Amino acid sequence: MNQGRTVFAQLVELLPRKAFDNAVRRYDGQRRVRLLSCMDQLLCMIFAQVTGRTSLRETVLCLRAMGPRRYHCGIRAAPARSTLADANEKRDYRIFQDTALAMIAAACAELPIDADLRRLRARVYAIDSTTIDLCLKLFPWAVFRRRKAAIKAHTVFDVGAGIPVFVRISPGKTHDLWMLDQIIPQPGAFYVMDKGYIDFARLYRLHTGGAFFVTRAKRNMDFGVLQRRTVEPNGPVIRDRLIRLRGPKSRRLYPDTLRLIRYVDPDTGKRLTFLTNHLTLDALTIALLYHKRWRIELFFKWIKQHLHIKAFFGTSPNAVQTQVWVAVIVFVLLLRLKHRHQLSGELNEIFAVLSVALSEKVPVFELFSQHDTQLSEGVDRNQLPLFDF
Mean pLDDT confidence for 102-111? 91
Question: Do the beta carbons of residue 37 and residue 31 sit within 8 Å?
Answer: no
Q: How many CB atoms lie within 10 A of CB 324?
A: 24
pLDDT at 377: 44
Given a cut of 50, is residue 180 above it in pLDDT?
yes
Question: Do the beta carbons of residue 164 and residue 100 sit within 8 Å?
Answer: no
- Determine which of 16-25, 67-76, 378-387 has the lowest per-residue pLDDT on average: 378-387
Nearest to 320, CA basis, from 100, 152, 80, 103? 152
Given a cut of 80, is residue 314 above it in pLDDT?
yes
Confidence of residue 254 (pLDDT cuts 50, 70, 90): very high
pLDDT at 383: 54
Given a cut of 90, is residue 197 above it in pLDDT?
yes
- Determine which of 90-99, 234-243, 372-381 has the lowest per-residue pLDDT on average: 372-381
- Determine which of 71-80, 243-252, 279-288, 310-319 has the lowest per-residue pLDDT on average: 71-80
Q: Is 97 exposed, middle or buried (0-12, 13-18, 19+ CB in 10 A)?
A: buried
Q: Is 337 strand, coil or helix?
A: helix
In the chain, what are the domains?
7-94+312-367 (no CATH), 194-292 (3.30.1370)
Q: What is the pLDDT of residues 208-251, one digit of tens each?
A: 999 999 999 998 899 999 999 998 888 899 999 999 999 899 99
The 10 Å CB-count burial string (b at 16+, else e) for 231-245 is beeeebbeebbebeb
Confidence of residue 152 (pLDDT cuts 50, 70, 90): very high
Higher pLDDT, residue 375 or 125:
125
Cα–Cα distance for residue pair 91/339, rounded to 1 Å: 32
Given a cut of 90, is residue 128 above it in pLDDT?
yes
Nearest to 73, CA basis, from 1, 30, 165, 9? 9
Given a cut of 90, is residue 343 above it in pLDDT?
no
Paired residues of 131 in beta bridges: 152
Mean pLDDT, all residues of the chain? 89
Handedness of CA 196, 202, 203, 209 (dihedral sign): negative
Collect all residues with Cβ–Cβ distance below 8 Å to 149 and sequence separation of at least 6.
133, 134, 135, 136, 138, 139, 140, 142, 143, 171, 172
Confidence of residue 49 (pLDDT cuts 50, 70, 90): very high
- Determine which of 34-38, 83-87, 337-341, 350-354 has the lowest per-residue pLDDT on average: 34-38
Going by DSSP bridges, is the β-strand pair 190-192/124-134 parallel, antiparallel, or unpaired? parallel
Mean pLDDT confidence for 142-165? 92
Mean pLDDT confidence for 45-62? 92
Given a cut of 80, is residue 35 above it in pLDDT?
no
Mean pLDDT confidence for 339-350? 89
Q: Is 310 strand, coil or helix?
A: coil
Collect all residues with Cβ–Cβ distance below 8 Å to 66 and sequence separation of at least 6.
73, 78, 359
Given a cut of 90, is residue 155 above it in pLDDT?
yes
